[in-house]
Amino acid sequence: MNTTESTPTPNFIRSIIEGDIQANKNDGRVVTRFPPEPNGYLHIGHAKSICLNFGLAAEHNGRCNLRFDDTDPSKESMEYVDSIQADVRWLGFSWGDNLFFASDYFEKLYQYAVELIRAGNAYVDSLSAEEIREFRGTLTEPGRNSPYRTRSVDENLDLFGRMRAGEFKGGAHVLRAKIDMASPNLLMRDPTLYRIRHTPHYRTGNTWCIYPMYDYTHCLSDSIEGITHSLCTLEFENNRPLYDWVLDELKTDCHPQQIEFARLNLSYTVLSKRKLVQLAEEGHVDGWDDPRMPTLSGLRRRGYTPESIRNFCDRIGVAKRDSMVDMALLEHSVREDLNKRAPRVMAVLKPLKVVIENYPEDREEMIEAVNNPEDAGMGTRMLPFSRVLYIEQEDFREDPPKKYFRLAPGREVRLRYAYFITCTRVVKDEKTGQVVELYCIYDPATKGGDAPDGRKVKATLHWVSAAHAITAEVRLYDRLFLNENPADKKESPDFKASLNPNSLEVLTDCRVEPGLAGAAPGSRYQFERLGYFCVDLKDASDNRLVFNRTVSLRDTWARIEKKQA
């Protein structure tokens, strides 16, 4: 497994772990876990957590478990379990035999709860949800004890057993930890440990009608699995005392250390399954794997490589303070990776017909083209050239503005790898006045792209031979949201208000060089001068070529970095 491309960047969690190893804490073992809830597809924020957990374990000869934190039956499903496993594997990580489900611990967790009740550390509360909220108090006001807080151990055991047996309706009772209703930490004011839910669970079916809460389940699952370092995002900082309380009161053999780090926020998108599920299910995008989505399946379909995502996660580092990462950095990472390995090809997105008047009608020749100037080992290929070609509509202006150096009437340009051509005549549509065809002459002496007399041209255009090119569909993407931080409630109460109505442009009449016939779904190319593209994983087939633009060639991040330097 290739998990680390280079020496790992130092961060505070790595320092803690290395200190623990030196002190021989946990006998020097490192066991981490990635604990997704199977209630949605993984996104790029999860990739940060995956790289961190699997990466740290691998670096220290430890192990990282994949554990499904599946204690809320209402939103979880096997579809999500499967997609999460596929995404973690695709990113390049492996959990070996260490696949776990919190739902497999339900019986153990129940027995632990019984133990808490026996020790007088938990009680069955029969206040309504509304009342529990009222009794909890606020940040400035202490809470009040529930009248049920003094129930006897026997009564609590009896009621909890009957909750499990299904004797009560949802909401009739909950099991709460008996901690401190006056604690300044609201999460320590007798938090709920179990609630009644008459909802079948995707794995345990109807076996259970009481379900353990996240805070109670998480620490115990970590402990059961012998986790040494339990890494989670900053919003769980206030939950740490509860994490420790449960394990301390139950005197578990293993008491992992919870360490919080800043979650990833990425500009112009949202990283929350609760929000992403709305985009996918309300039809704002074409499902979880829409190439505009920040999900791993979306990024994969967009053409991102696992290497580029791992490099991105390494670059952003791990800090203790929340921040917003520029989307341009993610794009920079994939550009950098694809620049090294994507073969260059010629593709014309909006074709304009060019007839080379002085090129014989029945002639065609093969022209040698370099596959990747970054990697001579990738060799060359032969491209057909003939009298009728297509160039990009944007590469011609009848009335060129200043600094427009591409083709114009009377002007000479280079066709990449081929010849110099000069535009001699423009054909327009009589009705619309639109330029529909150009007549040009070529200079046979410039074959290969250089003039023996040393004359220069200011532009090099990509092209395809009309008779040989194949038609393809190309999808161009723009950012999904117009706001840098769509989730910012100050901007709008509804994050969907800032969806970019022009985030997708579909071009159906593109022409690509013939060698792309039958290109396999998922294969990636640089279309010369246009960007990186990949064959769509879903909609492409043997007789239908569909490309998604991963990213354009323009590197805004490199410019930002230059400015900062």
**Residue whose pair of structure tokens reads 């706001």 in the numeric block:** 483
Q: Pick from 557, 558, 545: which is nearest to 510 by CA?
A: 545
- Structure tokens belonging to residue 276: 């992403």
Residue 244: φ, ψ to 5°: -70, -35
Query: How far from chain centre, in Å, is Cα 506?
Result: 22
Q: Smallest distance from the beta carbon of 184 to ligand ATP, in angstroms?
A: 24
The residue (of 230 and 465) whose beta carbon lies closer to ligand ATP is: 230
> Cα separation of 245 and 251, whole Å?
10
Cβ-based nearer residue to ligand ATP, 321 or 431: 321
Cα–Cα distances in angstroms (integers) from residue 136 to residues 141, 179, 194, 535, in the given order: 9, 12, 17, 55
Burial track 546-564 (b if 16+ CB lie within 10 A, e otherwise)? bbbbbbbeebebeeeeeee
Question: Annotated catalytic residue: which of 67, 240, 263, 524?
Answer: 263
Contact 513, 469 (CB under 8 A): yes
Q: Are 250 and 116 in contact (CB under 8 A)?
A: yes
Task: Kindly tell me which of 264 and 530 has the beta carbon lying closer to ligand ATP.
Answer: 264
- Spatial separation of the C-alpha atoms in residues 216 and 252, rounded to whole Å: 13
Question: At its nearest, how many Å lie between ligand ATP and the CB of residue 277?
Answer: 9
When the beta carbons of 65 and 446 are compared against ligand ATP, the nearer one is 65
Report, in Å, the least distance between residue 295 CB and ligand ATP.
Answer: 10
| Residue 248, H or E segment | helix 240-250
Active-site entry in 273, 292, 301, 302: 273
Closest to ligand ATP by CB, 35 or 73: 35
Its sign, for the CA torsion 550, 555, 558, 559, is negative
Residue 290 or 412: which CB sits closer to ligand ATP? 290
Quote the least distance from Cβ 538 to ligand ATP, whole Å. Answer: 23
Q: Give min distance, CB of 332 to ligand ATP, in A.
A: 19
Distance of CA 478 to the CA centre of its chain: 16
HEC-encoded secondary structure of 180-216:
CCCCCCHHHCCCEEEEECCCCECCCECCCCEEECHHH
Distance, in Å, from the CA atom of 214 to the CA atom of 218, rounded to the nearest integer, reads 6
Tell me if residue 37 is catalytic. yes
> Which of 37, 155, 336, 437 is an active site residue?
37
Measuring CA to CA, which residue among 20, 52, 16, 14 is closest to residue 33?
A: 52
195 phi-psi bin (left φ>0, alpha ψ -120 to 50, beta other): beta
Q: How far is the CB of 300 from ligand ATP (least distance, A)?
A: 18
Closest CA to 474 of 548, 553, 552: 548
Taking the least distance from each CB to ligand ATP, the nearer of 119 and 324 is: 324
User: What radius of gyration do the chain's Cα atoms show?
Assistant: 31
* CB of 37 or CB of 286, closer to ligand ATP: 37
In the complex, residue closest to ligand ATP by CB: 45
**To the nearest whole angstrom, how small is the minimum distance from the Cβ of residue 236 to ligand ATP?**
7
Q: Which helix (H) or strand (E) holds 313?
A: helix 306-316
Contact residues toward ligand ATP (CB under 6 A) are 35-37, 45-46, 48-49, 69, 232-233, 263-264, 271-274
Smallest gap from residue 235 Cβ to ligand ATP (A): 8
Residues serving a catalytic function are 37, 263, 273
